[in-house]
Amino acid sequence: MVNRQRIEVASNRPYPVFLGVPLEGLGDYLKTRSLTVDNILVISTPNVADRYLDRLLAGLKDFKADFISVPDGEEQKSLDRIDLLTSEAVSLGIDRSSLVIAFGGGVIGDLAGFFASIYMRGIRLIQVPTTLLAQVDSSIGGKVAVNHSAGKNLLGAFYPPLAVWTDFTTLETLPWSEFQNGLAETIKHALIADYELFSYLEKYTEEIKQGNSAVWREMVTRSLAVKVKKVAEDELEQGARALLNLGHSFGHALETELEYKGITHGQGVSVGLAAAACLAQGRGMLTLAELNRITGLLQGFGLMTRIKAGTAERLLQHMQTDKKNKAGQKILILPKGIGQAMIVKDCTDQEIIAAWQGVLQ
Ligand SMILES: NC(=O)c1ccc[n+]([C@@H]2O[C@H](COP(=O)([O-])OP(=O)(O)OC[C@H]3O[C@@H](n4cnc5c(N)ncnc54)[C@H](O)[C@@H]3O)[C@@H](O)[C@H]2O)c1
């Protein structure tokens, strides 16, 4: 049974995820924790700050709160931006008794989280996620990072926040293509660990697309509960947490082939889920009916299950460099029925090529 207001994340440093709470309520929560917080630094982007900063700051009126705006975009997850944040934070007097609020999507969560993890050897952090992807996925689990020219998320840390504060109403202004990115992860969560969530998504596809808030609440709550569970089983990503990579090895290969152009991360994950499902069906881990349900659900949300992107052989090659592989062995996550997944280490190149052929146009 999922608690609908608060879920604890079991971790080296356990922390609560608050669900469906108003942005204005964060200040009161901080007071109840009797933390000594001299000043608060909110880091956000214009898209979020223009719409929601006033609401957040209204609740923080009894604290000294400063705000730093970071432009949008994945390229902001960089050491250059950390350098700039550091200069700004120093001039604002941010010190070890301060608290950082990462207020935005996954980019801000990763960037501001990484900044908090290294500024003065680590200052306190609260995640306030405002995209669907950040609410169901990136704000939970403590992974924070910036990119490097040699790789995405190459410089990072496991840095659990003090709390995650999730106000579902922020999703009302999220563009549909961003919402789809979070939906792809939600369908992945359902596939690896929650059959009921999968059926719920099938049943309420139209309500979700129309923005029914009660349905959103149920969907987000169940989806993030899967992430919380997997993180609790394996905080440092040495086993069970790897299941969260379902669809991602295929998805990354696609993004590499397309040089990250013309395909969103969510669409890449979606085709990746379809490819993993094809492979699983070929191995007898899924029935044809289950495969059709998976592709049908993805398509129901306008997510792609087929794509034009090079050849199966080239995509296989991109998968050879996947960082999850060990000693030349390709490690894949595959669905086993709907609601379970497995780590599979013995897929042949022929099977992977056949799976790619199943999703290539
Ligand atoms: N740390 C982790 O465990 C983890 C997991 C998955 C993804 N990630 C990272 O997450 C990032 C992607 O995050 P994302 O998909 O949230 O993208 P994002 O942070 O770029 O946000 C997407 C867009 O939505 C805007 N936005 C945010 N909230 C809004 C709102 N409520 N209303 C209107 N617009 C809003 C943003 O300004 C941005 O333009 C990637 O960098 C990825 O590496 C991290």
The model's confidence at residue 328, banded by pLDDT at 50, 70 and 90, is: low
* Closest atom, ligand 1, to C-alpha of 129: 28
Asked if the model's pLDDT at residue 322 lies above 70, the reply is no
What is the per-residue pLDDT across 270-316, written as a single tens digit (0 to 9) for each? 999 999 999 999 999 999 999 999 999 999 999 999 999 999 999 99
Spans of all domains in the chain? 6-173, 176-359
Residue tagged active-site, from 188, 229, 248, 330 = 248
Nearest CA to ligand 1 atom 7: 138
Whether residue 52 is predicted with pLDDT greater than 80 in this model: the reply is yes
Q: Which CATH class is domain 6-173?
A: alpha beta
* Residue 223 CB–ligand 1 contact under 6 Å: no
Using the predicted structure, report yes or no on whether residue 2 has a pLDDT greater than 60: no
Q: What percent of the chain stands above pLDDT 90?
A: 87
Atom 18, ligand 1: residue with shortest CA distance: 105
Rounded CA separation 40/7 (Å): 24
Average pLDDT of the residues in 59-74: 96
CA 314 to chain centre: 27
Question: Do the strands 39-44 and 332-335 form a parallel or antiparallel pair, or are they unpaired?
Answer: unpaired
265 is catalytic: yes
Residue 4 has pLDDT above 80, yes or no: no
Token code pair at residue 328: 């030349």
Ligand 1 pocket check: which of 42, 52, 69, 133 to mutate, most ligand atoms within 8 Å of Cβ? 133
pLDDT of residue 153: 92
CATH number for 176-359 (one of 1.20.1090.10, 3.90.105.10, 1.20.1600.10, 3.40.50.620): it is: 1.20.1090.10
Across 71-97, average pLDDT = 97
Within the chain, where are the H helices? 26-32, 46-59, 79-91, 106-118, 132-133, 176-193, 195-203, 205-210, 213-233, 248-257, 265-282, 288-300, 312-320, 349-359
Determine which of 26-40, 73-87, 213-227, 325-339 has the lowest per-residue pLDDT on average. Answer: 325-339
User: What was the pLDDT predicted at 327?
Assistant: 62
In DSSP terms, 144 is beta-bridged to 157
Q: 6-173 with 176-359: one CATH topology?
A: no
Evaluate: CB of 44 within 6 angstroms of ligand 1: no
Instruction: Indicate the helix (H) or strand (E) that contains 16.
Output: strand 15-19
CA–centroid distance, 213 to ligand 1, in Å, is: 20
Q: Is the CB of 107 under 6 A from ligand 1?
A: yes
Compute, in angstroms, the gap from residue 134 CA to the centroid of ligand 1: 6
Of 178, 185, 218, 235, the active-site residue reads 185
Q: What is the pTM of this model?
A: 0.96
pLDDT of 103-133, one tens digit each? 999 999 999 999 999 999 999 999 999 999 9
Protein residue whose Cα sits closest to atom 30 of ligand 1: 174
What CA–CA distance (Å, rounded) separates 227 from 277?
20
Instruction: Return mean pLDDT, the chain.
Output: 94
CB of 45 shorter than 6 A to ligand 1: yes
> Looking at the predicted structure, is the pLDDT value of residue 321 above 80?
no
Neighbours of 284 (CB within 10 A): 8
pLDDT number for residue 164: 98
Q: Is 143 in the active site? A: yes
- pLDDT level of residue 325 (50, 70, 90 thresholds): low
pLDDT band at 160 (very low <50, low <70, confident <90, very high): very high
| Distance (Å) from CA 179 to ligand 1 centroid | 10
CA of 33 relative to ligand 1 center, distance in Å: 28
Classified as helix, coil or strand, 104 is: strand
358 lines ligand 1 (CB under 6 A): no
Write down the pLDDT at residue 323: 61
